[in-house]
Structure 1
């Protein structure tokens, strides 16, 4: 008997976790690389000061932490969740393209705004769908496995992929990470 059968989780549970693993890997690449991109002088970085970077991050944090308050209730009421998921992935892909292809403040602000919108749709939607796949008696194991899987993906895929993309150039970092949303 396979270990997956012993765990007694549905195929949908593992598929949703795979999608979430890819999203978290792209997110990890963004979070690790963007502070360097913002402040690096030369080599394609934007060359902003640490103070400017702090202001950009303040905008991003405020937006990203306030949007899910609105999107979560909209997602709960929607019966078109698969379209919302596709839309969120498209928004996130466009966000990463914006950051990667437009090396200026406008491209960065557009990108992090779109990242905030995309993540505020993607995360509540995916957490809700994953939660529906977990039986009450398996709650601890189901959520523990969920977090373990995406952290494993970040470690196994995210770290080397991020390093490889950075060696290719800034365009590759963000476009390459954005491609994970298309998969």
Structure 2
């Protein structure tokens, strides 16, 4: 692929003066907005399985496992599918305007999620939140792409992924504490998090297009058709969808598994002896047990501590072997969860940390790979297509979770078979990426679609 953007051009290709690492103010503002959007999303989504399956009498929605699986598959599928269009629109009409639209939709949407009770009303409001998030996602990633260069892109995406996990760590912890008061507070807090981004947006400046790149003269639909003709890229997205189908089980299935199958009382007893205040906080909504959200929070905490270090260690290394290794680590962690764990809640924490290591290796590199091999003047559009792999992964993950948890775990009493199936899906994804590395990677790296 031709290098149309030199390092010098990349460093000066945004509004505002870059700092010593080549990062402009827009880079930092995009990362800050990502934190607050993730505070809202993960504060809700990490608890969504518990909320939807909790009986109405206890403040939840009382949905069946099938209904839960449908919502957790179909809605995120649409959330990650729509960036195919919203990313292209961001390139066309401007990121700043689209950011504003996203926040206008999401802020009331999160609040209303706590006010509706029947299935289709909840579906409609959650769909609105998904539309807002779908507008936001490709634009913030494309801002990171445009405000980094070949020398600092790996570090830039590592910083970005760390910001994601600040939101992912703090959001569920705050939501876990406030749900001890009422479920409504979870959704009010999510709306407040998104509302902060209106203030940050006042200081955001549009990243400049590369002056050497041709102006866009075609509709988003025609450009989408161009991307679909890029066969190696489409295959890459399909393979990554298997990775995301495994990845998402830590959010949609693990909280239920901890609640229903893991005895965390010994872990709570240890916490009680060490810090009664912390023990009370983590068990406020689950008397006698540690709330599942506080165990899954170790995923985000470990990434916060280690992501930048791991990104630096992985800087300059071939991307696809790292994706393969990360996928296999996810599978190993699922086997540990399903066929262990020893030490109850502590054993699940060990598995979560192993999962996190695989995620830290693979997930940022999957985005960096797209930024590396695709034309930069259409960064948001190709990032939108990258999110298509997440869309398919969520769709598959939701239905696998609904069926696997409802049938294998609850009806058959065999959660080990469910986790074994998830692990197998990760191995299949890793094998597919290995094949892709040997057969298709060079075709993708060498191919640059140019519209007439």
Kindly name which structure, 1 or 2, has the bigger radius of gyration based on alpha carbons. Answer: 2
Shift of 1:8: 4.3
Shift of 1:19: 0.7
More displaced, 31-40 or 61-70? Answer: 61-70
Which one of the candidate residues 105, 108, 121 is aligned to 1:107? Answer: 121
Task: String of CA shifts for 1:25-45, please: whole Å, max 9, x gaps.
Answer: 211112111111111002211
Matches within 5 A, 1:36-47: 36-41=50-55, 42-47=57-62
Matches within 5 A, 1:15-164: 15-41=29-55, 42-79=57-94, 81-155=95-169, 157-164=170-177
Contact 1:90/1:181 (<8 A) preserved: no
Cα distance in 2 between the residues matched to 1:113 and 1:179 = 19
More displaced, 48-57 or 118-127? Answer: 48-57
Structure (1 or 2) with the greater helix fraction: 1
Cα distance in 2 between the residues matched to 1:160 and 1:117 = 25
Structure 2 length-normalised TM: 0.37
Cα distance in 1 between the residues matched to 2:50 and 2:37 = 21
Cα distance in 1 between the residues matched to 2:168 and 2:112 = 23
Unaligned runs of 5+ in 1: none
Shift of 1:5: 5.3
Contact 2:37/2:167 (<8 A) preserved: no
- 1:171 aligned partner: 184
Shift of 1:65: 3.1
Shift of 1:143: 0.8
More displaced, 140-149 or 159-168? Answer: 159-168
Cα distance in 2 between the residues matched to 1:136 and 1:149 = 21
> After TM superposition, which residue ranges in structure 1, 4 or more long, deviate above 4 angstroms?
none
Contact 2:114/2:184 (<8 A) preserved: yes
Cα distance in 2 between the residues matched to 1:38 and 1:71 = 29
Shift of 1:11: 2.5
Task: String of CA shifts for 1:99-118, please: whole Å, max 9, x gaps.
Answer: 11222223311222112211
**In the comparison of the two structures, how many residue pairs are matched?**
178
Task: String of CA shifts for 1:64-102, please: whole Å, max 9, x gaps.
Answer: 2321222221222113x2121111012111221221122
Cα distance in 2 between the residues matched to 1:61 and 1:10 = 31
Contact 2:40/2:193 (<8 A) preserved: yes
Q: What secondary structure, in the 3-state scheme, does the structure 2 residue paired with 1:21 have?
A: helix
Contact 2:113/2:122 (<8 A) preserved: yes
Cα distance in 2 between the residues matched to 1:58 and 1:145 = 28
Cα distance in 1 between the residues matched to 2:34 and 2:91 = 18
Unaligned runs of 5+ in 2: 1-17, 197-452
- Higher RCO, Cα 8 Å, sep 6+: 1
Cα distance in 1 between the residues matched to 2:159 and 2:86 = 26
Contact 2:43/2:173 (<8 A) preserved: no
Shift of 1:123: 0.3
Contact 1:25/1:153 (<8 A) preserved: yes
Structure 1 length-normalised TM: 0.88
